[in-house]
């Protein structure tokens, strides 16, 4: 992919229908825009753009985006449409716009840039459920970029949402495509610097995300961990309790296992990771020296849905309907009151 140089200005119209309101963010190979539907003007969407002169790569993106259109989970944005623009070497995904702050920004607002363990579990329960749901698709869908910046706490008060499917892929056990360019420092799994990823790649991302939310620091990058283990025989990953002594040992141990360098030593599923995190009751909540929080969220409980669905593979050249599905209303569950107060600050 080529580095993004041409950003669509506000007012641009995509596919004769979607007007760019503003740029939400950009990376090395694409951008995300807030767009307004010209036919139903109250409808706002996020438009994920990927620029790649390689037609085969764009076809792969649109093929996998078609699979994401069939995904339906309260903690995942709905993908409504895939748009191809071969003339300008671009492809787009039209999806839910989630208005809110991401967990990286919320984390930075905390005095010690970290959250209490009870709150982290309350946040991550729905995200674990969403990842488990993705992994149970046929074929499994791997996110490959799970990190606090890709988890949004909606201002609406709904539960946290896992976003940014720009580098998601379907799992192909025969594939050995190198994914090094997609590894987010500190959150990318070791295999993303080498060849081949599978569903346990996301387990690493979940563990690294929890590590950051609990300790207030970004984990040591997996590539550096590998080099240090090879040259010195020691893992430079700092113990969680060094920064967060209140974290129970069973929670820390579960995160360490999720972040294992050896992919086969990680939890096989998000459900098993979640069960390990909840293997013992958490201590009673005492006074919490963090930004004002009125109450903790509802009991994080256990992964509730873990639904699975067999999603048929749709060829990249299959026709798609132009009728836009109606926006889903009231489909998401509510956040805890504590996170609503954080968003209001």
Same fold, 1-97 and 101-277: no
At 308, the pLDDT band (50, 70, 90 cuts) reads very low
At 333, the pLDDT band (50, 70, 90 cuts) reads low
- The tokens describing 330, both together, are 């009231």
Which class for 151: exposed (0-12), middle (13-18), buried (19 or more C-beta within 10 A)?
buried
What is the C-alpha to C-alpha distance for residues 139 and 158, in angstroms, rounded to an integer?
28
pTM for this one? Answer: 0.79
Domain borders along the chain are 1-97, 101-277
Answer yes or no: is pLDDT of 247 > 70.
yes
Please tell me the predicted confidence (pLDDT) of residue 178. 36
Average pLDDT, the chain: 81
- The tokens describing 81, both together, are 């449409």
Region 283-296 average pLDDT: 44
The pLDDT > 90 percentage for the chain reads 57
Please tell me the predicted confidence (pLDDT) of residue 180. 40
At 63, the pLDDT band (50, 70, 90 cuts) reads confident
- The helix/strand/coil state of 223 is helix
Region 12-16 average pLDDT: 94
Which residues make Cβ contacts (< 8 Å) with residue 181, sequence separation at least 6?
Answer: 1, 28
The pLDDT > 70 percentage for the chain reads 75
Q: Which residue has the tokens 């080498």?
A: 194
Overall fold of domain 1-97 = Phosphorylase Kinase; domain 1 (3.30.200)
Answer yes or no: is pLDDT of 291 > 80.
no
- The tokens describing 78, both together, are 């709905």
101-277 is classed in which CATH architecture?
Answer: Orthogonal Bundle (1.10)
Which residues make Cβ contacts (< 8 Å) with residue 223, sequence separation at least 6?
Answer: 183, 190, 193
Region 42-46 average pLDDT: 94
* Ranges 91-95, 307-311, 314-318, 335-339, most confident: 91-95
Answer yes or no: is pLDDT of 92 > 80.
yes
- The tokens describing 158, both together, are 């709904």
């Amino acid at each position: 992919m080529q580095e993004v140089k041409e950003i669509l200005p506000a007012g641009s119209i995509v596919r004769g229908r979607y007007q760019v309101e503003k740029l939400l963010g950009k990376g090395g190979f694409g951008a995300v825009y807030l767009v307004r539907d010209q036919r139903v003007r109250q409808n706002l969407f996020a438009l994920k753009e990927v620029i790649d002169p390689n037609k085969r790569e764009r076809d792969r993106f649109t093929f996998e985006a078609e699979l994401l259109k069939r995904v339906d989970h309260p903690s995942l944005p709905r993908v409504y449409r895939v748009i191809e623009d071969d003339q300008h070497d671009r492809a787009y995904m039209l999806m839910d716009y989630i208005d809110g702050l991401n967990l990286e920004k919320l984390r930075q607002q905390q005095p010690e840039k970290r959250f209490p363990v009870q709150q982290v579990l309350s946040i991550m329960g729905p995200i674990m459920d969403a990842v488990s749901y993705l992994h149970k698709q046929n074929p499994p869908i791997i996110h490959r970029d799970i990190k606090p910046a890709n988890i949004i706490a909606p201002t609406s008060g709904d539960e946290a949402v896992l976003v940014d499917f720009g580098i998601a892929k379907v799992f192909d056990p025969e594939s050995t495509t190198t994914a090094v360019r997609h590894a987010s420092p500190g959150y990318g799994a070791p295999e993303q610097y080498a060849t081949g990823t599978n569903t346990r790649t996301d387990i690493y991302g979940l563990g690294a995300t929890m590590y950051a939310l609990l300790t207030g620091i970004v984990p040591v990058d997996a590539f550096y961990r590998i080099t240090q283990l090879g040259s010195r025989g020691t893992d430079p990953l700092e113990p969680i309790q060094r920064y967060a002594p209140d974290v129970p040992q069973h929670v820390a141990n579960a995160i360490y296992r999720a972040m294992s360098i050896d992919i086969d030593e990680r939890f096989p599923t998000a459900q098993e990771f979640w069960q390990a995190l909840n293997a013992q009751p958490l201590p009673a909540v005492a006074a919490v020296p963090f930004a004002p929080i009125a109450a903790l969220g509802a009991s994080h409980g256990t992964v509730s849905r873990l639904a699975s669905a067999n999603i048929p593979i749709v060829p990249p050249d299959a026709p798609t309907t132009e009728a836009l599905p109606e926006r889903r209303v009231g489909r998401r569950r509510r956040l805890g009151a504590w996170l609503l107060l954080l968003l209001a600050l």
